[in-house]
Amino acid sequence: MSLLPSRFIYLCLHFLVLYFQLQESQQSSADFRFYIENHTRNPDDLSRKQVRIYQLYSRTTGKHVQILGKKINANGDDGGKYALLVVETETFGSHIRIKGKESEHYICMNEKGKIVGRPDGRKQECVFVEEFLENNYTALVSAKYKGWYLGFNRKGRPKKGSRTTQRQQEVHFMKRQPKGRVDPLEEFRFTTVTKRTRRARRLKPNPKRN
């Protein structure tokens, strides 16, 4: 009978140790999430910048974002000179600045949510944060105006940021290589999109295997 109390005390101590370990783990996880959120609010000026050239395929228009200067739309042709985008990427936090290779203007969003092209992209209004969606598309949310996305309607005209949400197709894009260009050093995979091909083709049975 004397063994029962000691066994009970042992189990209580064991559960107490597990409880404190769990609390410590949850606290560490919360602290780490706070650290990430706090550091991704602003671009990391100390990290090495990366520069890429690609196109942004618009899900709504079936064409590409192009920067003509002050005016920006999503009616660019594949390989068009105004659809070639120079994307300056911060290595921490997915903060990017998008500049037209031909026009040398940046995509910016003003305080009214209007998308405009500006020759100087150093302001926070010209910084966007990439959000990778489950449907393999990418959304670009303003780093300054939280919840305001880069988006275009079916006619290719920019939407005001205040009228956008992440679920809207108007804010969904795909990164694509310029027509005829292959860069083996790209870290992300580009997706080829066609308007007609929406369903996966069924494989025909091979009679030779039977």
pTM exceeds 0.75, yes or no = no
The domain that contains 74 carries what CATH number? 2.80.10.50
**Rounded CA separation 126/144 (Å):** 9
27 inside domain: no
Q: CB–CB of 173/135 below 8 Å? A: no
75 inside domain: yes
Give SS3 for 46: coil
122 inside domain: yes
Residue 140: domain span: 41-176
**Rounded CA separation 21/92 (Å):** 30
Beta partners for residue 97, in sequence order: 88
Residues 6+ positions from 156 with CB-CB distance below 8 Å: 58, 61, 63, 73, 74, 75
Give the pLDDT of the chain (210 residues) as one tens digit per residue.
Answer: 444 567 777 777 777 777 777 766 666 554 545 544 454 455 555 555 789 999 999 999 999 999 999 999 999 999 999 999 999 986 566 899 999 999 999 999 999 999 999 999 999 999 999 999 999 999 999 999 999 999 999 999 999 999 999 999 999 999 999 876 655 444 444 444 544 434 434 444 555 544
99 inside domain: yes
> How many independent structural domains does the chain possess?
1
